[in-house]
């Protein structure tokens, strides 16, 4: 079940990812299409281009969509 409607706007989430904003920790997860992994908003990895990310409300949603931790 997708709960994207309950999440902040996608541009806000992407900005939080780029800035590694810890205030968004536990609110959403980010799936990176080019690598197939998902991560928290504070992830220290190189930041993906906006068109390569999907946002999820939980890690289980990311896994169900085919992403791995």
* Three-state SS annotation for 40-68: CCCCCCCCCCHHHEEEECCHHHHHHCCCE
What is the per-residue pLDDT across 40-55, written as a single tens digit (0 to 9) for each?
Answer: 999 999 999 999 999 9
**Known catalytic membership, residue 39:** yes
Whose tokens are 């536990």? That residue is: 26
Q: Rounded CA gap, 2 and 55, in Å? A: 10
What is the per-residue pLDDT across 1-51, written as a single tens digit (0 to 9) for each?
Answer: 456 668 999 999 999 999 999 999 999 999 999 999 999 999 999 999 999
Of the listed 13, 30, 32, 39, which one is catalytic?
A: 39
């Amino acid at each position: 079940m997708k709960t994207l409607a309950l999440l902040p706007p996608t541009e806000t989430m992407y900005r939080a990812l780029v800035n590694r904003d810890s205030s968004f920790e536990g609110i959403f997860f980010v799936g990176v299409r080019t690598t197939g992994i998902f991560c928290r908003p504070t992830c220290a990895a190189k930041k993906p281009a906006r068109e390569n990310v999907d946002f999820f409300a939980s890690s289980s949603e990311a896994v169900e969509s085919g992403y791995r931790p």
